[in-house]
Amino acid sequence: VCGPGQIARLPDLIKHAMEKKGKQLSVSDAIRKAADNPELEEFESVYDRADKDIPGQAFVRAMRGCDNFCTYCIVPYVRGPETSRPINKIVEQVKRLADDGVKLVTLLGQAVNKYQYRAGEKTYTLADLLYKVSEIDGIEWLRFVTSYPRKEGFTELMQVMADSPKVCNYLHMPAQSGSDKILKAMNRRYTAQQYLELIDAAREIVPDISVAGDFIVGVPGETDDDFERTAELVKKARYKNCFVFKYSPRPGTTADKSLQDNIPEEIKKQRNYRLLEVQEKTSAELAKQFENKQVTVLVEGLSKKPHLNSAENDNNPQLVGRTADDWIVVFNGPASLTGQFARVNITRTSPLTLFGELI
Ligand code: SF4
Protein backbone atom coordinates (compact mmCIF):
# COMPACT_ATOMS: atom_id res chain seq x y z
CA VAL A 1 0.00 0.00 0.00
CA CYS A 2 1.59 3.24 -1.14
CA GLY A 3 0.27 6.69 -0.31
CA PRO A 4 0.42 9.49 -2.87
CA GLY A 5 3.20 11.23 -0.94
CA GLN A 6 5.41 8.17 -1.17
CA ILE A 7 5.25 7.42 -4.88
CA ALA A 8 9.01 7.80 -5.10
CA ARG A 9 9.31 4.82 -2.76
CA LEU A 10 7.35 2.50 -4.99
CA PRO A 11 10.38 0.71 -6.55
CA ASP A 12 11.80 0.04 -3.07
CA LEU A 13 8.47 -1.15 -1.74
CA ILE A 14 8.14 -3.59 -4.63
CA LYS A 15 11.73 -4.77 -4.20
CA HIS A 16 11.22 -5.38 -0.49
CA ALA A 17 7.89 -7.09 -1.07
CA MET A 18 9.58 -9.45 -3.55
CA GLU A 19 12.62 -10.12 -1.37
CA LYS A 20 10.76 -10.50 1.89
CA LYS A 21 7.62 -11.89 0.32
CA GLY A 22 5.68 -9.69 2.71
CA LYS A 23 3.30 -6.79 2.53
CA GLN A 24 4.75 -3.28 2.34
CA LEU A 25 3.08 -0.14 3.60
CA SER A 26 4.11 3.48 3.18
CA VAL A 27 1.40 6.00 3.87
CA SER A 28 2.90 8.56 6.26
CA ASP A 29 2.07 12.19 5.57
CA ALA A 30 5.13 13.40 7.48
CA ILE A 31 6.72 14.99 4.44
CA ARG A 32 4.27 17.86 4.46
CA LYS A 33 5.60 19.16 7.72
CA ALA A 34 9.28 19.88 7.51
CA ALA A 35 11.59 21.36 4.95
CA ASP A 36 14.49 19.40 6.44
CA ASN A 37 12.73 16.05 6.24
CA PRO A 38 14.85 13.70 4.06
CA GLU A 39 11.64 12.28 2.59
CA LEU A 40 11.13 15.62 0.90
CA GLU A 41 14.03 14.75 -1.38
CA GLU A 42 12.18 11.65 -2.57
CA PHE A 43 9.10 13.77 -3.08
CA GLU A 44 11.22 16.17 -5.14
CA SER A 45 12.54 13.39 -7.36
CA VAL A 46 8.96 12.76 -8.49
CA TYR A 47 7.83 16.36 -8.83
CA ASP A 48 10.99 17.96 -10.19
CA ARG A 49 9.74 17.14 -13.68
CA ALA A 50 7.80 19.59 -15.74
CA ASP A 51 5.14 18.81 -18.29
CA LYS A 52 6.49 20.35 -21.51
CA ASP A 53 4.00 19.11 -24.10
CA ILE A 54 3.39 22.58 -25.55
CA PRO A 55 6.45 24.16 -27.19
CA GLY A 56 7.85 27.11 -25.24
CA GLN A 57 5.74 26.29 -22.19
CA ALA A 58 6.11 24.24 -19.04
CA PHE A 59 3.78 23.29 -16.22
CA VAL A 60 5.62 23.20 -12.91
CA ARG A 61 4.14 21.75 -9.74
CA ALA A 62 4.37 24.22 -6.86
CA MET A 63 2.41 22.08 -4.46
CA ARG A 64 0.44 18.91 -4.39
CA GLY A 65 -2.49 17.54 -2.42
CA CYS A 66 -5.37 19.43 -0.88
CA ASP A 67 -6.68 19.98 2.64
CA ASN A 68 -10.00 21.54 1.67
CA PHE A 69 -12.17 18.42 1.53
CA CYS A 70 -14.94 19.80 -0.63
CA THR A 71 -17.64 17.17 -0.13
CA TYR A 72 -17.86 16.13 -3.81
CA CYS A 73 -14.13 15.85 -4.44
CA ILE A 74 -11.85 12.85 -4.28
CA VAL A 75 -8.56 14.78 -4.56
CA PRO A 76 -7.73 15.03 -0.81
CA TYR A 77 -8.10 11.25 -0.55
CA VAL A 78 -6.03 10.33 -3.57
CA ARG A 79 -3.44 13.12 -3.60
CA GLY A 80 -2.97 13.42 0.14
CA PRO A 81 -2.41 16.52 2.25
CA GLU A 82 -1.16 19.86 0.93
CA THR A 83 2.60 19.84 0.47
CA SER A 84 4.46 22.83 -0.92
CA ARG A 85 7.74 22.26 -2.73
CA PRO A 86 10.85 24.11 -1.53
CA ILE A 87 11.01 27.53 -3.16
CA ASN A 88 14.69 27.14 -4.10
CA LYS A 89 13.96 23.84 -5.89
CA ILE A 90 11.20 25.44 -7.94
CA VAL A 91 13.44 28.39 -8.83
CA GLU A 92 16.28 26.03 -9.87
CA GLN A 93 13.89 23.99 -11.97
CA VAL A 94 12.47 27.06 -13.71
CA LYS A 95 16.01 28.32 -14.43
CA ARG A 96 16.77 25.03 -16.19
CA LEU A 97 13.53 25.31 -18.14
CA ALA A 98 14.40 28.88 -19.17
CA ASP A 99 17.80 27.60 -20.39
CA ASP A 100 15.87 25.08 -22.51
CA GLY A 101 13.90 27.88 -24.18
CA VAL A 102 10.76 27.83 -22.07
CA LYS A 103 9.04 31.23 -22.05
CA LEU A 104 5.81 30.56 -20.19
CA VAL A 105 5.70 28.74 -16.89
CA THR A 106 2.41 27.78 -15.23
CA LEU A 107 2.73 27.00 -11.53
CA LEU A 108 0.37 24.22 -10.52
CA GLY A 109 -1.49 23.31 -7.37
CA GLN A 110 -5.01 22.17 -6.51
CA ALA A 111 -5.31 25.31 -4.40
CA VAL A 112 -2.10 26.95 -5.54
CA ASN A 113 -2.73 30.20 -3.66
CA LYS A 114 -2.28 28.22 -0.44
CA TYR A 115 1.38 27.68 -1.34
CA GLN A 116 3.40 28.08 1.82
CA TYR A 117 7.00 27.09 2.37
CA ARG A 118 8.90 27.73 5.53
CA ALA A 119 12.68 28.15 5.40
CA GLY A 120 14.33 29.43 8.57
CA GLU A 121 12.39 32.40 9.89
CA LYS A 122 10.65 33.15 6.62
CA THR A 123 7.44 31.64 5.29
CA TYR A 124 7.18 32.04 1.53
CA THR A 125 3.78 32.50 -0.09
CA LEU A 126 2.69 32.17 -3.71
CA ALA A 127 3.23 35.93 -4.11
CA ASP A 128 6.86 35.48 -2.95
CA LEU A 129 7.30 32.54 -5.29
CA LEU A 130 5.97 34.54 -8.25
CA TYR A 131 8.34 37.44 -7.48
CA LYS A 132 11.29 35.03 -7.33
CA VAL A 133 10.42 33.16 -10.50
CA SER A 134 9.72 36.39 -12.40
CA GLU A 135 13.36 37.41 -11.82
CA ILE A 136 14.54 34.53 -13.99
CA ASP A 137 15.88 35.66 -17.38
CA GLY A 138 14.17 34.03 -20.32
CA ILE A 139 10.85 33.47 -18.54
CA GLU A 140 8.51 36.04 -20.04
CA TRP A 141 5.12 34.94 -18.80
CA LEU A 142 4.02 33.33 -15.55
CA ARG A 143 0.65 31.89 -14.64
CA PHE A 144 -0.66 29.99 -11.66
CA VAL A 145 -3.66 27.65 -11.42
CA THR A 146 -5.95 26.87 -9.67
CA SER A 147 -6.84 29.45 -7.00
CA TYR A 148 -9.21 28.69 -4.15
CA PRO A 149 -11.45 31.66 -3.29
CA ARG A 150 -9.95 32.91 -0.04
CA LYS A 151 -9.11 36.32 1.34
CA GLU A 152 -5.80 35.33 2.92
CA GLY A 153 -2.98 36.57 0.72
CA PHE A 154 -5.36 37.58 -2.09
CA THR A 155 -4.45 41.29 -2.17
CA GLU A 156 -0.72 40.47 -2.19
CA LEU A 157 -1.27 38.00 -5.02
CA MET A 158 -3.15 40.54 -7.12
CA GLN A 159 -0.48 43.11 -6.31
CA VAL A 160 2.24 40.87 -7.84
CA MET A 161 0.11 40.66 -10.95
CA ALA A 162 -0.17 44.43 -11.07
CA ASP A 163 3.54 44.96 -10.30
CA SER A 164 5.20 42.34 -12.44
CA PRO A 165 4.80 42.56 -16.21
CA LYS A 166 5.68 38.86 -16.36
CA VAL A 167 2.79 37.65 -14.20
CA CYS A 168 -0.12 37.24 -16.62
CA ASN A 169 -3.36 39.03 -15.81
CA TYR A 170 -5.25 35.77 -15.57
CA LEU A 171 -7.05 34.25 -12.61
CA HIS A 172 -8.67 30.84 -12.64
CA MET A 173 -10.82 30.76 -9.51
CA PRO A 174 -13.66 28.23 -9.36
CA ALA A 175 -16.86 29.38 -7.62
CA GLN A 176 -18.69 26.05 -8.15
CA SER A 177 -22.10 27.55 -7.22
CA GLY A 178 -23.82 30.87 -6.63
CA SER A 179 -26.10 29.50 -3.91
CA ASP A 180 -24.89 29.80 -0.32
CA LYS A 181 -26.90 26.70 0.60
CA ILE A 182 -25.15 24.63 -2.06
CA LEU A 183 -21.74 26.13 -1.25
CA LYS A 184 -22.26 25.03 2.33
CA ALA A 185 -23.29 21.53 1.24
CA MET A 186 -20.11 21.44 -0.86
CA ASN A 187 -18.02 22.57 2.14
CA ARG A 188 -16.74 25.54 0.15
CA ARG A 189 -15.73 28.07 2.75
CA TYR A 190 -17.15 31.27 1.27
CA THR A 191 -20.47 32.78 0.31
CA ALA A 192 -21.43 33.95 -3.17
CA GLN A 193 -21.11 37.54 -1.95
CA GLN A 194 -17.61 36.94 -0.57
CA TYR A 195 -16.61 35.33 -3.86
CA LEU A 196 -17.84 38.33 -5.85
CA GLU A 197 -16.02 40.66 -3.47
CA LEU A 198 -12.78 38.86 -4.32
CA ILE A 199 -13.46 39.34 -8.03
CA ASP A 200 -14.16 43.04 -7.42
CA ALA A 201 -10.94 43.36 -5.39
CA ALA A 202 -9.02 41.65 -8.20
CA ARG A 203 -10.45 44.09 -10.79
CA GLU A 204 -9.65 47.04 -8.59
CA ILE A 205 -5.97 46.09 -8.44
CA VAL A 206 -5.68 44.61 -11.96
CA PRO A 207 -8.42 46.34 -14.00
CA ASP A 208 -8.00 44.26 -17.16
CA ILE A 209 -7.72 40.91 -15.38
CA SER A 210 -9.25 37.98 -17.19
CA VAL A 211 -11.08 35.57 -14.92
CA ALA A 212 -12.11 31.97 -15.54
CA GLY A 213 -14.48 29.98 -13.37
CA ASP A 214 -15.63 26.41 -12.74
CA PHE A 215 -19.15 25.35 -11.81
CA ILE A 216 -20.90 22.13 -10.90
CA VAL A 217 -24.60 21.94 -11.70
CA GLY A 218 -27.12 19.40 -10.44
CA VAL A 219 -25.52 18.97 -7.01
CA PRO A 220 -27.85 16.99 -4.70
CA GLY A 221 -30.58 19.30 -3.42
CA GLU A 222 -29.96 22.08 -5.99
CA THR A 223 -33.34 23.74 -6.59
CA ASP A 224 -34.30 25.99 -9.51
CA ASP A 225 -33.75 28.93 -7.19
CA ASP A 226 -30.24 27.72 -6.27
CA PHE A 227 -29.45 27.36 -9.95
CA GLU A 228 -30.76 30.85 -10.75
CA ARG A 229 -28.37 32.23 -8.13
CA THR A 230 -25.53 30.46 -9.91
CA ALA A 231 -26.60 31.92 -13.26
CA GLU A 232 -26.75 35.34 -11.59
CA LEU A 233 -23.23 34.96 -10.21
CA VAL A 234 -21.93 33.94 -13.64
CA LYS A 235 -23.41 37.14 -15.10
CA LYS A 236 -21.98 39.33 -12.38
CA ALA A 237 -18.50 37.80 -12.40
CA ARG A 238 -18.02 38.55 -16.12
CA TYR A 239 -15.77 35.58 -16.71
CA LYS A 240 -13.68 35.23 -19.83
CA ASN A 241 -14.82 31.62 -19.87
CA CYS A 242 -16.36 29.03 -17.59
CA PHE A 243 -15.97 25.32 -17.23
CA VAL A 244 -19.29 23.72 -16.32
CA PHE A 245 -19.62 20.17 -15.04
CA LYS A 246 -22.66 18.07 -14.26
CA TYR A 247 -22.53 16.61 -10.76
CA SER A 248 -21.67 12.94 -10.59
CA PRO A 249 -20.90 11.17 -7.32
CA ARG A 250 -17.33 10.13 -6.66
CA PRO A 251 -17.14 6.94 -4.59
CA GLY A 252 -15.48 7.54 -1.23
CA THR A 253 -16.43 11.23 -0.96
CA THR A 254 -18.64 12.66 1.78
CA ALA A 255 -21.22 13.74 -0.79
CA ASP A 256 -21.44 10.20 -2.14
CA LYS A 257 -21.88 8.77 1.35
CA SER A 258 -24.34 11.28 2.73
CA LEU A 259 -26.21 12.90 -0.19
CA GLN A 260 -28.52 11.33 -2.69
CA ASP A 261 -27.77 12.13 -6.33
CA ASN A 262 -31.35 13.30 -6.74
CA ILE A 263 -31.28 15.72 -9.67
CA PRO A 264 -32.48 14.03 -12.89
CA GLU A 265 -29.91 13.86 -15.69
CA GLU A 266 -32.18 15.87 -17.99
CA ILE A 267 -32.27 18.78 -15.51
CA LYS A 268 -28.49 18.59 -15.09
CA LYS A 269 -28.11 18.82 -18.87
CA GLN A 270 -30.50 21.78 -19.10
CA ARG A 271 -28.68 23.66 -16.33
CA ASN A 272 -25.32 22.91 -17.89
CA TYR A 273 -26.54 24.25 -21.23
CA ARG A 274 -28.19 27.31 -19.67
CA LEU A 275 -25.06 28.28 -17.77
CA LEU A 276 -22.89 27.99 -20.85
CA GLU A 277 -25.42 30.10 -22.73
CA VAL A 278 -25.26 32.83 -20.06
CA GLN A 279 -21.46 32.70 -20.19
CA GLU A 280 -21.34 32.78 -23.98
CA LYS A 281 -23.02 36.17 -23.99
CA THR A 282 -20.36 37.67 -21.71
CA SER A 283 -17.54 35.93 -23.59
CA ALA A 284 -18.84 37.33 -26.89
CA GLU A 285 -18.94 40.88 -25.45
CA LEU A 286 -15.45 40.62 -23.97
CA ALA A 287 -14.04 39.09 -27.16
CA LYS A 288 -15.52 41.91 -29.28
CA GLN A 289 -13.38 44.43 -27.44
CA PHE A 290 -10.34 42.93 -29.15
CA GLU A 291 -11.53 43.73 -32.67
CA ASN A 292 -8.98 45.85 -34.57
CA LYS A 293 -6.56 45.63 -31.66
CA GLN A 294 -3.09 44.13 -31.69
CA VAL A 295 -2.23 41.37 -29.28
CA THR A 296 0.88 39.39 -28.38
CA VAL A 297 0.47 35.63 -28.48
CA LEU A 298 2.67 32.72 -27.56
CA VAL A 299 2.25 30.36 -30.50
CA GLU A 300 1.30 26.81 -29.55
CA GLY A 301 1.46 25.25 -33.02
CA LEU A 302 -0.77 24.26 -35.89
CA SER A 303 -4.47 24.79 -35.34
CA LYS A 304 -6.06 21.39 -34.75
CA LYS A 305 -9.39 22.41 -36.25
CA PRO A 306 -8.50 24.66 -39.17
CA HIS A 307 -11.26 27.20 -39.64
CA LEU A 308 -12.85 27.81 -43.01
CA ASN A 309 -11.69 30.61 -45.30
CA SER A 310 -8.16 30.57 -43.95
CA ALA A 311 -5.57 31.51 -46.53
CA GLU A 312 -3.83 28.27 -45.80
CA ASN A 313 -0.93 26.77 -47.71
CA ASP A 314 2.18 24.84 -46.71
CA ASN A 315 4.14 27.98 -45.88
CA ASN A 316 1.28 29.74 -44.22
CA PRO A 317 -0.69 27.21 -42.17
CA GLN A 318 -3.29 28.13 -39.62
CA LEU A 319 -1.68 28.54 -36.21
CA VAL A 320 -3.08 28.79 -32.73
CA GLY A 321 -1.68 30.67 -29.77
CA ARG A 322 -2.81 32.35 -26.60
CA THR A 323 -2.54 35.84 -25.20
CA ALA A 324 -1.09 36.39 -21.74
CA ASP A 325 -4.64 36.56 -20.40
CA ASP A 326 -5.45 33.22 -22.02
CA TRP A 327 -7.51 34.21 -25.05
CA ILE A 328 -7.18 31.70 -27.89
CA VAL A 329 -5.98 33.37 -31.10
CA VAL A 330 -6.11 31.78 -34.56
CA PHE A 331 -4.16 33.22 -37.49
CA ASN A 332 -2.03 32.16 -40.45
CA GLY A 333 1.73 32.19 -40.32
CA PRO A 334 4.88 30.10 -40.68
CA ALA A 335 4.96 26.94 -38.52
CA SER A 336 8.45 28.04 -37.37
CA LEU A 337 6.70 30.51 -35.05
CA THR A 338 5.70 27.59 -32.81
CA GLY A 339 6.97 28.25 -29.28
CA GLN A 340 7.68 31.90 -30.14
CA PHE A 341 5.88 35.16 -29.48
CA ALA A 342 4.01 36.82 -32.36
CA ARG A 343 1.98 40.01 -32.82
CA VAL A 344 -1.44 39.56 -34.33
CA ASN A 345 -4.03 42.09 -35.48
CA ILE A 346 -7.48 40.85 -34.46
CA THR A 347 -9.98 41.12 -37.29
CA ARG A 348 -12.97 39.16 -35.98
CA THR A 349 -14.03 37.32 -32.86
CA SER A 350 -16.24 34.53 -31.59
CA PRO A 351 -17.09 33.95 -27.92
CA LEU A 352 -14.09 31.70 -27.34
CA THR A 353 -11.68 32.58 -30.13
CA LEU A 354 -10.05 35.66 -31.60
CA PHE A 355 -9.14 35.54 -35.31
CA GLY A 356 -6.50 37.75 -36.82
CA GLU A 357 -3.58 38.45 -39.13
CA LEU A 358 0.07 38.15 -38.33
CA ILE A 359 1.75 41.56 -38.22
FE1 SF4 B 1 -9.37 20.64 -3.02
FE2 SF4 B 1 -10.34 21.65 -5.28
FE3 SF4 B 1 -11.04 19.20 -4.48
FE4 SF4 B 1 -11.94 21.30 -3.14
S5 SF4 B 1 -12.40 20.80 -5.29
S6 SF4 B 1 -11.07 19.44 -2.28
S7 SF4 B 1 -10.20 22.71 -3.34
S8 SF4 B 1 -8.99 19.87 -5.10
pLDDT digits (tens, 9 = 90+) for 102-143: 999 999 999 999 999 998 899 999 999 999 999 999 999 999
CB 201 within 8 A of CB 154: yes
Q: How far is the CA of 110 from the centre of ligand 1 (A)?
A: 6
Ligand 1 touching residue 216 (CB < 6 A): no
Section 187-203 average pLDDT? 98
CB 60 within 8 A of CB 129: no
Model confidence at 79, pLDDT cuts 50, 70, 90, reads confident
pLDDT tens by residue, 38-75: 555 656 666 666 677 889 999 999 998 899 999 999 88
Instruction: Measure the CA–CA gap between 107 and 341, rounded to whole angstroms.
Output: 20
For ligand 1, pick from 61, 64, 67, 68 the residue to mutate: most ligand atoms within 8 Å of CB.
Answer: 68
- Percentage of the chain beyond pLDDT 90 is 75
pLDDT tens by residue, 254-294: 999 998 999 999 999 999 999 999 999 999 999 999 999 99
SS3 (DSSP) at 284: helix
Q: Is the pLDDT of residue 26 over 50?
A: yes
Ligand 1 touching residue 255 (CB < 6 A): no
SS3 (DSSP) at 134: helix
- Percentage of the chain beyond pLDDT 70 is 89
SS3 (DSSP) at 38: coil
Instruction: Measure the CA–CA gap between 92 and 134, rounded to whole angstroms.
Output: 13
pLDDT tens by residue, 333-344: 999 999 999 999
Nearest CA to ligand 1 atom 3: 73
For residue 154, which phi and psi values (nearest 5 degrees)?
-70, -45
Ligand 1 touching residue 66 (CB < 6 A): yes
Work out whether strand 294-302 and strand 341-349 pair parallel, antiparallel, or are unpaired.
Answer: antiparallel
pLDDT tens by residue, 303-328: 886 654 455 566 789 999 999 999 99
